[in-house]
Amino acid sequence: MTDDESTAWQAYQEERRKQREERAAKDREYHIRHSLETLAKYGHPAPGDVDKLKVEHEAMKTAHQAAQDELAGLRLAVDHDWQLAQIGELTQGIRDRDHFDRFRELAAKAKMHPRAIKRMWDTSGFKAESEKVDEEALGKLLDGMRREHDYAFVREPATPPADQPAARESEPAAAAGSGPRFVFSRGQWKSNGSAPPGVP
């Protein structure tokens, strides 16, 4: 359980405690008021009982109002914490989206396979730290991916060294008799133009 969830749980438990106290205060207030009404209706209360009950009744009303005020404050605090958490999640989501959009552009320029871009982003676990896109951090992320996950990038064809001339398309045909004298083709030996075995 995270700190925010723990705080929310404690606030929820405190709110329930206040609600129980509020119900208990209402019950006591009801019984006191009912007792006062009964005494007034049937008369002949004991000396001092009515005044005592009135004082207790006023104290209960004051305690009840204080409990209501405290409960309202707790509800406001819980709502405020929830709103802050929601704002934080939305802000982080916007940051991550902006960074991913830029990462996708850089990955395309780096010739990453299009189907690998989203998966590589998800597995990287990158978290944006600021609202402004961090180009340097994204560049380092791509460099690391190229080293560790080269299969996710399109491979460039090998180029011959600069000092080696490129092979010409039209090479002279091999001279007759060069290479193997006989080749096996379609179930039989055939001559490539050289003399048969045993013939100089």
Question: pLDDT tens digit string along 143-155?
Answer: 999 888 888 888 8
| Per-residue pLDDT at 183 | 62
- What's the confidence (pLDDT) of residue 192? 65
Question: What does R_g of the chain's alpha carbons equal in angstroms?
Answer: 44
Is 141 in contact with 103 (CB distance < 8 Å)? Answer: yes
Out of 22-36, 45-59, 98-112, 182-196, give the one with best mean pLDDT. Answer: 98-112
Q: Does 46 or 111 have the greater pLDDT score?
A: 111
Bridge-based pairing of strands 182-185 and 188-191 is antiparallel
Read off the pLDDT of each residue in 55-77 and give the average, rounded to a whole number. Answer: 79
Q: What is the pLDDT, as a whole number, of residue 171?
A: 47
pLDDT of residue 181: 62
User: Of 80-84, 137-141, 172-176, which range is least confident?
Assistant: 172-176
Confidence band of 58 (pLDDT split at 50, 70, 90): confident
